[in-house]
Amino acid sequence: MRVKIAVCLLAAAPTVAGAAGSKSEDGVRLFEAGRLPEARTSLEAAVREDPMDASALFYLGRTLLAQNDPGSAASSLEKAIALEPSHSVFHLWLGRAWGQLALDSNVFKQASLAPRIKKEFETAVALEPADVEARLDLMEFYIQAPGIMGGSLEHARRQAEEIRRIDSLRGYRASGRMLEYEKKVGAAAAEYDRAAREFPERIEPALWAENLWIEKKDFGMAFAAVDAYRTRNPSSMPGCYQLGRLAALSGERRESGADCLKQYLAYTPKPDEPGLAWAHLRLGQIQEKTGDKMGARREYEAALEIDATLKEAREGLKRVP
pLDDT at 22: 66
Read off the pLDDT of residues 248-287 as tens digits, 9 standing for 90 and up.
Answer: 999 999 999 999 999 999 999 998 899 999 999 999 999 9
pLDDT at 3: 46
pTM of the model: 0.87
3-state secondary structure 218-235: CHHHHHHHHHHHHHHCCC
Q: Which of 213, 215, 217 is nearest to 227 (CA)?
A: 213
What is the share, in percent, of the chain residues with pLDDT greater than 90? Answer: 83
Q: Contact, 271 vs 236, CB < 8 A? A: no
pLDDT tops 60 at residue 16: no
CA dist 11 and 172 (Å) reads 20
Read off the pLDDT of residues 177-189 as tens digits, 9 standing for 90 and up.
Answer: 999 999 999 999 9
Show the beta-strand stretches assigned E in the chain.
Answer: none
Q: Which of 48, 1, 239 is nearest to 142 (CA)?
A: 1
Which domains does the chain possess? 235-321 (1.25.40.10)
Question: In the predicted model, what is the mean pLDDT of the chain?
Answer: 92
Read off the pLDDT of residues 80-134 as tens digits, 9 standing for 90 and up.
Answer: 999 999 999 999 999 999 999 998 888 888 899 999 999 999 999 999 999 999 9
Cα three-residue angle 171-104-278, rounded to 5 degrees = 65
Main-chain phi, psi angles of 203, to 5 degrees: -85, -20
